[in-house]
Amino acid sequence: MARIILISCSKTQKQGLFMARDLYQGKPFKQSLANAEAMVDAGRADHIYILSTWYGLLDPRRVVANYNYMPANAKQWNAWAQMVMAQLVAKGHNLSKDKFVFLTTQKFYNRLVNPPRSFPQSIKKAIYYADHQNEQQQRVWLLNQLP
């Protein structure tokens, strides 16, 4: 079972080409990335991915260009959720057995998890709404989710 941390992207971005981890500039994103990286460094998580409204699932080291896109309706959000699920499967992840920890906004979480989305209802998942707490509170929460 892999332990995967999913982080939502940020509207605030640098202009140009950057590694995804450096592109997004929002405070909640930076806080979530720092905490997720600490969990990987401590051996408590195996993978970190950024949930991008444009690219779908991003490895933090992937070089990408800035963009200005947000799905506008349920059909576009459903297509986005299906793309993210397909990308996870293509990377060899098991949607039924892996543990997914969401350091995301509520919007991202709802678009991926709530029916008729692709995550199975039986999946082990934990959610932390990244835009409402400070870095230390988030780290304590993560330590409890990823012992």
The strand pairing partners of 50, in sequence order, are 7, 58
Q: What per-residue confidence (pLDDT) applies to 124?
A: 44
Could you tell me the two tokens for 136?
């230390």
Question: At 82, phi and psi to the nearest 5?
Answer: -65, -40
Q: For residue 141, what pLDDT is reported?
A: 76
> Which pLDDT value is given to residue 28?
87
What pLDDT sits at residue 11?
93
Given CA atoms 98, 101, 107, 108 in this order, what sign does their dihedral have? negative
- Say if strands 63-65 and 17-19 run parallel, antiparallel, or are unpaired: antiparallel
Query: Block means of pLDDT (10 residues each) for the chain, length 147 residues?
Result: 92 97 94 92 95 97 97 91 92 88 82 65 52 67 74
Indicate the domain borders of the chain.
Answer: 3-145
In 124-138, which positions are buried (b, 16+ CB within 10 angstroms) versus exposed (e)?
Answer: ebebbbbbeeeeeeb
Domain covering 3-145: architecture: 3-Layer(aba) Sandwich (3.40)
CA atoms in the 13 A half-sphere facing the CB of 117: 21
Q: Where are the alpha helices (DSSP H) in the chain?
A: 20-23, 27-41, 74-90, 106-113, 135-145
Q: Which two tokens stand for residue 55?
A: 């690219």
